[in-house]
């Protein structure tokens, strides 16, 4: 954690680091239970992060909430977030099944932005879990696992970067073009899935 984040999270910082490490190792173990062979692995990579204090304060400000860690723990679900990047769309639902079956986890919300994409073209599946916290009277914390294919992640990363460039003109045209890219990538994802299914069937 950066110095500024350590100061902001204060007494909560060690527990957040502990939960992040636990989440990562549990996800890894879950994925290994499907396959440890790189030829058949479902995940391209996994990432886990604790939200930076500036990004958290910005989100709390946007939602008109107190800019404190406690307010974040109570009202937000992505202070600790993990991202599982899969090769194929079908793999996302295999991982979801494992998450739902995990006896150590309690799934509270599933947001399927693949079946029901956001209007801008964003696709991803978000799973929110409640985990024990137990620091300073805060019993639990919600964490978010985002499941995406490589193509969905690529689009989200580029869109995230472009979104914050305020000087861009022709916003409507750019929005349409981004949406078109998202749709083309989703169509490629489906074709790749079909090709894999054909190969597997022999």
Residue ranges in contact with ligand 0O2 by CB under 6 A: 51, 55, 59, 78, 111, 118, 120, 122, 126, 156, 159-160
Nearer to ligand 0O2, 77 or 87 (CB): 77
State which residue, 118 or 180, has the beta carbon closest to ligand 0O2.
Answer: 118
Both structure tokens of 7 = 């100061």
Query: In the complex with ligand 0O2, which residue's Cβ is closer, 40 or 120?
Result: 120
Q: How far is the C-alpha of 71 from the C-alpha of 152, rounded, in Å? A: 31
How large is the C-alpha radius of gyration of the chain?
18
Residue 136 CB, nearest approach to ligand 0O2 (Å)? 23
Half-sphere exposure of 167 (CA within 13 A, CB side): 0
Task: In angstroms, give the least distance from the CB of 37 to ligand 0O2.
Answer: 30
38, burial (CB in 10 Å: exposed 0-12, middle 13-18, buried 19+): exposed
In the bound state with ligand 0O2, the residue whose beta carbon lies nearer, of 43 and 125, is: 125
CB of 131 to ligand 0O2, least distance (A): 17
Task: Provide the phi-psi class of 55: left if phi over 0, else alpha when psi is between -120 and 50, else beta.
Answer: alpha
> What minimum distance in Å lies between the beta carbon of 58 and ligand 0O2?
8
């Amino acid at each position: 954690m950066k110095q500024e984040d350590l100061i902001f999270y204060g007494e909560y910082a060690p527990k957040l680091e502990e939960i992040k490490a636990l989440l990562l190792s549990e996800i890894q173990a879950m994925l290994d239970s499907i396959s440890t062979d790189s030829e058949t692995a479902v995940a391209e990579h996994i990432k886990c992060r604790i939200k930076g204090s500036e990004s958290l304060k910005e989100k709390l400000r946007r939602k008109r909430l107190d800019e404190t860690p406690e307010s974040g723990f109570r009202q937000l679900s992505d202070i600790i977030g993990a991202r599982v990047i899969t090769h194929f769309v079908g793999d996302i639902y295999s991982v979801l099944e494992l998450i739902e079956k995990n006896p150590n986890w309690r799934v509270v919300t599933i947001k399927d932005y693949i079946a029901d994409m956001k209007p801008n073209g964003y696709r991803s599946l978000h799973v929110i879990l409640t985990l024990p916290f137990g620091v300073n009277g805060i019993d639990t914390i919600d964490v978010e696992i985002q499941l995406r294919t490589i193509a969905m992640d690529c689009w989200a990363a580029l869109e995230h970067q472009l979104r914050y460039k305020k000087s861009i003109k022709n916003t409507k045209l750019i929005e349409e073009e981004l949406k078109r890219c998202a749709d083309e990538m989703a169509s490629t994802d489906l074709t790749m899935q079909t090709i894999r299914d054909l190969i597997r069937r022999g």
